[in-house]
Amino acid sequence: MCNNVLVTSRRILVASLFMYSCYHPSRYSSALALGDPSLTVEEVTPRVYPSGSLFPVEERIVQLFEKNTYSVVNIFDVTLRPQLNVTGVVEIPEGNGSGVVWDGQGHIVTNYHVIGNSLSKNPSPGQVVARVNILASEGVQKSFEGKLIGADRAKDLAVLKVEATEDLLRPIKVGQSSSLKVGQQCLAIGNPFGFDHTLTVGVISGLNRDIFSQVGVTIGGGVQTDAAINPGNSGGPLLDSKGNLIGVNTAIFTQTGTSAGVGFAIPSSTVSKIVPQLIQFGKVVRAGLNVDIAPDLVANQLNVRNGALVLLVPGNSLAAKAGLLPTTRGFAGNIVLGDIIVAVDNKSVKSKAELYKIWDDYNVGDKVVLKILRGNENVEIPIVLEEKNS
């Protein structure tokens, strides 16, 4: 009953206003106005205060961003294109990320997984695998073909080359990740979700983390940060408070696909070791032993809980010449365990993964002493490291 009365009252009011407007149009507009004619626009306009100078810490961050933006590029995998979904929103494919200008010769460093779709087709060196957009001084992004120089899946790094003029190429300054401390400030620059260059600021929240890369490999020595790192930041720089490169952003720990406060970067010490090799050889020359090491699961099934179990030793390898023994089968078909590497130069080895991490600290031709568990005996074997086959 009340609702019917209310609806009827509204209809009468509207009809009355319509009839009134026919004879008094100017008064009708006034009747519908909700403003206060006793006030002027000037009276209700708030005073605008000047922003003034930035605080020193803010000014420093702004300057770092403005300076390093020109060293950060946008990268698009040529085999993937942004597409419109049913709602008309542009979907940015996984092959969209960032990179850094490495030198004045046009070398660009990014993540392997940013151009992973192109790399899965086994392109030859010099083949175009990406589009690289570089920010010019006038604020316009210029597009170039990114030709493959080399890629390393094990460290999730790749090097491209663009034919750009020297005035566009502003190399990033590389810092020392070995001196990082938890708690120090860091900045991440990238191109998340296809937007223009963006900046996030945080602190180093952890060191020597294992990074589980998007290409399915584990990278040791990772830098952990709470600076927001989103998919488009991949391949972009993580900078210290002086603007030096301390890592290449590579992954986020999340269940939603967006930043959850835990991001990871490949340390600059690793980048500085891998990138020059990719530029010179097109691949990474890794030191180690050309032997087959049992996967940890297989080693556990054979009751090897500590160390790296040697499965196969090629006859022409330096390991064979040094006397390293493989795993074999006895006359009765039983498995005879080979040598178990438990240390390299007094560095403890608990698993295959730890052994591979240790090799990162050495070069081809280095001499090391392996501590071996052979049956119930501890044996030391001096050996020269050779180039590991991929």
CATH 2.40.10.10 fits 58-161, yes or no: yes
DSSP β-ladder status, 335-336 and 328-329: antiparallel
- 3-class secondary structure, 285: coil
Give span(s): CATH 2.40.10.10, the chain: 58-161, 177-281
Please write the tens of the pLDDT for every residue from 36-80: 888 898 889 999 999 889 999 999 999 999 999 999 999 988 886
| Least-confidence region, from 79-83, 88-92, 122-126, 129-133 | 88-92
Catalytic residue among 113, 177, 351, 360: 113
Residues 172-195: b if buried by 16+ CB within 10 A, e if exposed: bebbebeebeeeebbbbbbbbeee
What pLDDT, on the 0 to 100 scale, is given for residue 269? 94
To the query of whether residue 26 is one of the catalytic residues in this protein, the response is no
CATH 3.20.20.140 fits 287-387, yes or no: no
| Least-confidence region, from 13-22, 132-141, 159-168 | 13-22
Pick from 213, 202, 197: which is nearest to 114 by CA? 213
DSSP string, 113-180: GGGHHHHTT-PPTT-EEEEEEEE-TTS-EEEEEEEEEEEEGGGTEEEEE----TTT--PPPB--GGG-
How sure is the predictor about 31, in pLDDT bands with cuts at 50, 70 and 90? Answer: very low
Pick from 232, 233, 274, 219: which is nearest to 107 by CA? 274
- Tell me which architecture the domain covering 177-281 has in CATH: Beta Barrel (2.40)
Residues listed for the chain: 390
What pLDDT, on the 0 to 100 scale, is given for residue 390? 58
Cα torsion through 223, 226, 229, 230, rounded to 10:
130
Are the beta carbons of 272 and 133 closer than 8 angstroms?
A: no
- 64: number of CA atoms within 13 Å, CB side? 24
The whole-chain average pLDDT of the chain stands at: 85
Residue with tokens 């006038």: 138
Catalytic residue among 152, 156, 226, 240: 156
Looking at per-residue pLDDT, the higher value among 170 and 4 belongs to 170
Angle between helices 25-32 and 2-23 (to 10 degrees): 140
To the query of whether residue 156 is one of the catalytic residues in this protein, the response is yes
Please write the tens of the pLDDT for every residue from 160-189: 999 999 999 999 999 999 999 999 999 999
Using CA atoms, how far apart are residues 190 and 288, in angstroms rounded to an integer? 35
Pick from 204, 308, 193, 210: which is nearest to 251 by CA? 210
How sure is the predictor about 5, in pLDDT bands with cuts at 50, 70 and 90? Answer: very low
Catalytic residue among 71, 98, 213, 234: 234
Using CA atoms, how far apart are residues 262 and 217, in angstroms rounded to an integer? 18
Cα Rg, the chain, nearest whole Å? 31
What pLDDT, on the 0 to 100 scale, is given for residue 258? 52
How sure is the predictor about 143, in pLDDT bands with cuts at 50, 70 and 90? Answer: very high
What pLDDT, on the 0 to 100 scale, is given for residue 252? 67
Give span(s): CATH 2.30.42.10, the chain: 287-387
What pLDDT, on the 0 to 100 scale, is given for residue 282? 94
What pLDDT, on the 0 to 100 scale, is given for residue 164? 95
What pLDDT, on the 0 to 100 scale, is given for residue 79? 80
What pLDDT, on the 0 to 100 scale, is given for residue 218? 80
pLDDT at 231 over 70: yes
pTM (two decimals): 0.78
What pLDDT, on the 0 to 100 scale, is given for residue 210? 86
Are the beta carbons of 266 and 218 closer than 8 angstroms?
A: no
**Burial class of residue 262 (count of CB atoms within 10 Å of its CB; 0-12, 13-18, 19+):** middle
